[in-house]
Amino acid sequence: MGSTSFGIPEHRFGSNGEKMPVLGFGTAVFPPVGAEATKMAILQSIKLGYRHFDTAAKYGSEQPLGEAIQEALSIGLIQSRDELFITTKLWCGDAHEDLVVPALKRSLQNLKLEYLDLFLIHWPVS
């Protein structure tokens, strides 16, 4: 893996000045390439300078992203989880009042994270 890095502009929003990189790295792949290839692609993208990652329970890429984040922290590619902007999505099958929180908790567990920066509704139907 190379070490070239580039800067990605950020958009500031909210009253506290939260920022979101305007370019994100998507993790949906068809046909699927497997968890290890996904993890390696994410690690390479972190080396290149990506800090916004888009995943979804439906993609099957939450666990490889979580593993890549843990590895990036352990080898010093990033110093803190706070350097990243993580988006995942609620699948329409879970878009029911009693299923949203359990789905969010599963995603957090898959990602090995304590919080998300953005939790989107994948499709606006349930």
Q: Is residue 12 part of a domain?
A: no
Output the average pLDDT for the chain: 92
Q: Is residue 54 part of a domain?
A: yes
Of 11, 96, 115, 122, which residue is the catalytic one? 122
Task: Report the b/e string of 8-39 with b at 16+ CB within 10 A.
Answer: eeeeeeeeeeeebbeebbebeeeeeeeeeebb
Q: Is residue 102 part of a domain?
A: yes
Q: Is residue 20 part of a domain?
A: no
pLDDT in the model for residue 16: 83
Model confidence over 34-74: pLDDT tens digits?
999 999 999 999 999 999 999 999 999 999 999 999 999 99
Q: Is residue 10 part of a domain?
A: no
Of 11, 50, 52, 59, which residue is the catalytic one? 59
Global pTM reads 0.90
* Percent of the chain clearing pLDDT 70 (strictly above): 95
| CA-only gyration radius of the chain, Å | 15
pLDDT at 5 over 80: no
Residue 74 host element (H or E): helix 62-74
Task: Clarify whether 122 is annotated catalytic.
Answer: yes
The parent domain of residue 38 ranges over 25-121
Task: Clarify whether 59 is annotated catalytic.
Answer: yes
